[in-house]
A and B are shown apart, each in its own frame.
Chain A
Amino acid sequence: MASTATTTMKTPGRFGIYGGRYVPETLMAALEELESAYDVAKRDKKFQEELKHLLKTYVGRPSPLFFAKRLTKHLGGAKIYLKREDLLHTGAHKINNSLGQALLARRMGKKRIIAETGAGQHGVATATVCALFGLECVVYMGTEDMRRQELNVFRMRLLGAEVRGVDAGQRTLKDAINEAMRDWVTNVRTSYYLLGSALGAHPYPTMVRDFQSVIGREARAQIMKAEGCLPNAVIACVGGGSNAIGIFHEFLKDKKVKLIGVEAGGRGFGLGEHAARFSGGVPGVLQGTYSYLLQDEAGQVASTHSISAGLDYPSIGPEHAELHDSGRAEYVCATDKEALAGLRLLSEMEGIIPALESAHAISEVTKRAPKMKKNDIVIVNVSGRGDKDIGILRENLQV
């Protein structure tokens, strides 16, 4: 098997056989420096206290856990709770990670921040924290994504970030990461790469998960308070997988809680028509990590499609690959059409317009809740709000 030819299992940052560190040598010293800086910061009370304080006073945590009464009644099955990451400052869960990493970058004495963005939410969150700390910020974004998320491009520029369009490949998230990595490899001595998802070379998948796991910690305590018991299932959309791993992580030990990740089913089953890595992918290495990867028979990375820029990526965070193989989490898809329907339903039933990414998770709950018992409980992570998607929604929905 391919995997056994490259992994020794002893290397750091492994999730089962997945993860690891596959980058040009020039970046290795920077990854080692980052790993040790993060190890120290993680155990430093002052660092954690400042992070906690800013999450509360600047980001607006804890985010509410909201009982979606009308949606529950409409679907006629399990009780549905929504984890409202969409209410955070900048409109998505991305800021949890951007803030944590920016604090780390400042601590490491790095003054220039590089980031990539797909939907623009991570770019906006990073531009925001850079403004907050007075750091220089360069965001790479595929020109196709700039077109479909133009509001976020404007927001980043308003916040003082430089947005650099990437015209290579499919002009989406993957291509933006390539270009961000090229910038980093060139300016590695002075710049900090603030990666936005639980992807990439070690320590990113672990570090991003740690910064996002606040979602699950809050959700678990909130549901215990509201219902006095754990949920039967937790549902989240999965692009790179940071909001999903963020809400899943605290529940991993609760074996009875089903964890369900929802990938982008796009507009069809053919390679290039979706971003469903687990049904269409084969393990491989892209952008520093070993995980499921949509690729052709020659090992060239396949193109992907999703109506949501944030899910439009050919690989998936390595921890999800391990959760998939071990069976601890289940991964399903929602198509573009199903996501649009989910978005519309949540808007009309609860007055919440979710991001198109999060709408994939909503779609899954509409399929699953009716089959569950009335006293069953489901938590859905509403990872972001839909304001950024209004342009696409106007093209795709009649109101």
Chain B
Amino acid sequence: MHLLKKILAASAITALAAGCTPSAKNDPIATSGVEPTGAIEFWHPFTDREAKAVDDLVSDFRAKFPKVTVTVKGEQDDGKMIQAIGAGQGPDVAMSYSTDIVGRFCSSGAWIDLNQYIQRDKVDLNRYPQVIKTYTEYRNKRCAMPFLADAYGLYYNKSIFSDANVTAPPKTLAELADLAKRLTVKDKDGKLQRVGFLPLFGFYENSPSHLGPMVGASWLKPDGTSNIGSDPKWTELIKWQKELVDWYGYDKLEEFRAGLGDEWSAENAFQQGKVAMNIDGEWRLAFLKDQAPEVKYGVTSLPVNDMSRSGAGYTTGNVIGVAKTSANQEAAWALIRFLTTETSSIVKLCNGIRNLPSTTDARQSKDLVVDDNYRVFLDIHANPNTSTTPPSSVGAAYQDEFSAFLQQYQSGEAADLAGGLKKVDDQINNLIKLAG
């Protein structure tokens, strides 16, 4: 009963709030060159080392704009931000670690359209790769700016490769499957002791969004409805993955997976040498350096089904915007502009957090600390075939619904792939319709 009461009470409070809180401001913006003043609140999701890097950068902003007072609140997730903005409160500047939020925030107006500021201040958006521009706008409404970027590649354990006389990482899906089998070790009872590649959807970063670029699969049609069931590339990827899962045996893989440590802990399976190859983001470089410096590893781009797409991968990033409830949107924009357009800021943050720079000039900056592994991710990010998940009015729901089906399909509980994908399409389209 408690949950129900909470839900009901929340409804009452939000309904009351609806009548008492101001709606979005539509005041004309100031002319160019006006110095921002006043107080703003900045929410971001980072913690510890990464939060410190953000704090340092905000200090630089304070020095440059002494008339703006910035209150920084870390460890703020999307849920808190959405509820706060929805209730007419919350931050002036809000950051999300997921681009999935952009469609919802742009379509609903929860984050304001930044185009007016961008045009006034003549911000050159051509400095950003096309893929970044794609995930920071929704239907020509640019409500977000890219904070930093992430890219996904294939990590491989050089020691395991060397022991098995493997000289090069896989370039194609077929090679990945072959190597996965070759590098797998079982005990006398057939139990998995080490896997070459753990193909289960749901394991660590193995989501359809991260694996989809290996075949160039697409998510949505131009009209915003689901394209999953219609795109044969998804079927190709799923069949490849299922074949590999069946080679291992789903139950055996789940049994093996159950004994692995948490992705973000030092017990991470790749760091422990229990998985020879693993798909992960560039941030794993910092984790490896910090938690498993003894591991000899290499990084390469995602294996692909078609070599013409070699070097491509999945990219995403942090996004930042001005909440519609902000009472000081001018100062909020000043902070966003400082964090996302100034090369020195971007480079400093990249070196601190070890994510990827979002602009081409930051990428080429001599101050950017680059090693061979980091460069692999820079190249993946810059590859013209690298793709992202498109913004949608339902956020990440289209990915979640698809993932739920994939879990059932890989376990064998769902057998009809085409029929299942059709149902996923219908489900997503219904959710999009409900979103209005």
The answer to whether A binds B is no
